[in-house]
Amino acid sequence: MTETHKVRGKKATPSRWHAEVEMQVQFFDLDPMEIVWHGRYVKYLEVVRCALLDSIGYNYVDMKASGYAWPVIDMHLRYVAPATFGQRLTLRADLVEWEDRLKIEYLVSDSVTGKRLNRASTTQVAVDIASGEMCFASPPILFEKLGLKAV
């Protein structure tokens, strides 16, 4: 999909690196109010983040093989409207920063109407597995996977 979406109240063009996944809300995702439990959105973000990482050829298995772990160090979620049982959702992830960290912005919307249900972002940093030390710049392997020159 090449449509634009709103990021922090302004129109933004989709990033070069993005992924979309469509899914249907399952009964086990609901809370006693019969809407998707707020914590379940973290799982939804992980589903589309994995699709994004697969699309650039640097998923969690590849990360580990390259000697780096990429833990999530920050996560923000903004709940706009509830999702309900059986509703079809479109999950979108856009890689928006990569030089010093991976910052991914997300949009969860109704697949039929396009109505926004949730906005989110996560930040991940590279950690050298051998030393356990956090890297203050993304390793060259990430730039290679993105088809860019390392900074």
Which domain covers residue 102, as residue numbers? Answer: 9-146
Q: How far is CA 37 from CA 34, 46, 92, 106, in A?
A: 8, 16, 19, 18
Residues 6+ apart with CB under 8 A from 125: 70, 71, 73, 100, 101, 102, 134, 135
* CATH for 33: 3.10.129.10
For residue 45, being part of any structural domain is answered with yes
3-state secondary structure the chain: CCCCEEECCEEECCCCCEEEEEEECCHHHECCCCEECCCHHHHHHHHHHHHHHHHCCCCHHHHHHCCEECCEEEEEEEECCCCECCCEEEEEEEEEECCCCEEEEEEEEECCCCCEEEEEEEEECCEECCCCCECCCCCHHHHHHHCCCCC
With 80 as the cut, is the pLDDT of residue 9 above it?
no
pLDDT band at 5 (very low <50, low <70, confident <90, very high): very low
For residue 3, being part of any structural domain is answered with no
For residue 4, being part of any structural domain is answered with no
Count of domains forming the chain: 1
Average model confidence (pLDDT) across the chain: 91
Question: How confident is the model at residue 7, as a pLDDT?
Answer: 39
Model pLDDT for residues 105-125, shown as the tens digit of each residue? 999 999 999 999 999 999 999
Model pLDDT for residues 52-89, shown as the tens digit of each residue? 999 999 999 999 999 999 999 999 999 999 999 999 99
